[in-house]
Structure 1
């Protein structure tokens, strides 16, 4: 019996891609394609939901940790272990296999390398997640690779509209989910060494976040057999300002309204490593969710969590169960594009 009355829904596997560390999922309405990355294989995956076709692009870096479509150009901005880079347009999906042919590609340009190179080389830090504000400013954050270390060596950086690079935050554990309210007045941020979601007041004119405070703390468990574990990971926002945050090592996505109240939970069956959601599809009425392999998203093994590393989805359409909770005026939202 659930220790709460929060409605619970269930996502389903849409592609058995078996990623090592699936992350950075984003919908591109210009091409009607879904894209995400597998961090430690440095791969960019693309998926066409209209026909089930899937493609993979491989890049020459230790890892590929974040991507976002560009505002005026094709391709993506993204982060490797130590740089903000430009990626070309993705290979058009053309195969239905869950293991399609891999296309080798190279980065078009390095935009910024603000991290200390010696800390990248010795494995102390790497870039992780990022986000784009409504005007196209790029936020990209790093993390300490030893997540049990007492010190937090990560940082949050900003690539501004004029090309300037600014460190926004220091002493970050694991820089993760980042997004903005529909009106651009608030920035949401997750440092996954802390089990909370923070909120900042945000100025679209200056691009400066201020007045950091806690927006949401650890959620209740699903039921007595599935208690709260893990931490918040990646997030997205819908079109009415609800925050949807994945629970790393807890196999679910938590929906939270602008008041900080939990409005829904989405279970990710047979996978503990939910990493990040996004809205996509023709009317932005499908939530897609990436996951990590069982040994990363554990504790647990492949037999217990066979869907670890797969791509999930859940319908938010007008007749869906979750839409009946959210109301007829609910709408999805696409992530912002980078102005670079």
Structure 2
């Protein structure tokens, strides 16, 4: 794997949720704290930003040509042509201090997404499943900050991250969409930061961004560390595989929590980075809205 390079200067406060949209050959991601959705075309260099009506944790391409977005207010359909967000589900209307945080689409078009305490303290974050307009609680125990989730290539395993607990869990996905009993997949040492967003590659290895860890890390299916790529930014949030062969990893980063001295020492913090990988990622799935 080559060295990570900055490919888009956005200086995001909290860059997150990168996803490669194959129908556009473009990378979409969000800046949660600045209420922005971003689209980046690496081939042309075209970059566009859209205003969201609040904190937005993720956007995922849907089967009707629009996107599904995770807002603090709830799950919304986002149409880039109009810039309009239409909220269609509010799973945590009774928890106004929570927000949605990170998501993934499985091969059946279902979205697995988590929530978190926006103050990053209370254990009020849960994992949900969106299935054609219906949202159900996955039943996993609540944590302060959910991250991932990532879906294995065969669609039978979900990797669920408890960021503050520094644990990535492996959870079986049953045929009916229910989840089995979680088991420990990986524990991140305190010196290596906190596990953030996760994604699987075509070999079923799990990549995670490490907040405060200056790197993206690849785990083998048995939970051992297989590879690491260092970045010139401390807060690495998540990667997405893109490009025609899905061998380019795009990493979002964040400036959140960095003081003036830290920002001076890492001027590229908050940018989008890219590096090449030997193993490609997985082709993206479209959200089934109905």
TM-score by length of 1: 0.80
1:242-293 CA-to-partner distances (Å, cap 9, x unmatched) read: 1000001111111011121211001011x11110101001110100000001
Give the Cα separation in 2 of the matches to 1:299 and 1:142: 30
- Measured after TM superposition, the shift of residue 19 of structure 1 is 0.9
Q: Which runs of structure 2 are paired with 1:42-121 in the superposition (5 Å)?
A: 42-59=35-52, 61-70=53-62, 72-89=63-80, 105-107=83-85, 109-117=86-94, 119-120=95-96
Which residue pairs with 1:96 in the alignment?
none
Unaligned runs of 5+ in 1: 1-7, 91-103, 220-226, 317-322, 324-329
Are positions 1:278 and 2:240 aligned together? yes
Which residue pairs with 2:286 in the alignment?
337
**What is the number of residues matched between the two proteins?**
288
Unaligned runs of 5+ in 2: none
- Relative to structure 1, is the Cα distance of residues 297 and 210 closer, same or farther in structure 2, using a 3 angstrom cutoff? farther
Contact 2:2–2:276 (Cα < 8 Å) also in 1: no
Runs of 4+ residues deviating >3 angstroms:
297-300
Give the Cα separation in 2 of the matches to 1:191 and 1:299: 29
Give the Cα separation in 2 of the matches to 1:165 and 1:299: 41
Which residue pairs with 2:176 in the alignment?
206
Between Structure 1 and Structure 2, whose CA radius of gyration is higher? 1
Within the candidate set 202, 211, 217, 1:239 is matched to 202
- Measured after TM superposition, the shift of residue 339 of structure 1 is 0.9
Which residue pairs with 1:268 in the alignment?
231
Give the Cα separation in 1 of the matches to 2:92 and 2:235: 27
- Relative to structure 1, is the Cα distance of residues 190 and 283 closer, same or farther in structure 2, using a 3 angstrom cutoff? same
Contact 1:272–1:298 (Cα < 8 Å) also in 2: no
- Relative to structure 1, is the Cα distance of residues 279 and 298 closer, same or farther in structure 2, using a 3 angstrom cutoff? farther
Q: Which runs of structure 2 are paired with 1:1-340 in the superposition (5 Å)?
A: 10-59=3-52, 61-70=53-62, 72-89=63-80, 105-107=83-85, 109-117=86-94, 119-120=95-96, 124-147=97-120, 149=121, 151-161=122-132, 163-168=133-138, 169-203=140-174, 205-218=175-188, 228-269=191-232, 271-293=233-255, 295-296=256-257, 301-316=262-277, 323=278, 330-340=279-289
1:40-95 CA-to-partner distances (Å, cap 9, x unmatched) read: 12111111111211111112x2211111111x2112101111200000136xxxxx
Contact 1:249–1:298 (Cα < 8 Å) also in 2: no
- Measured after TM superposition, the shift of residue 170 of structure 1 is 4.3
SS in 2 for 1:13: strand
Contact 1:69–1:77 (Cα < 8 Å) also in 2: yes
TM-score by length of 2: 0.93
- Measured after TM superposition, the shift of residue 29 of structure 1 is 0.9
Give the Cα separation in 1 of the matches to 2:258 and 2:176: 38
SS in 1 for 2:73: coil
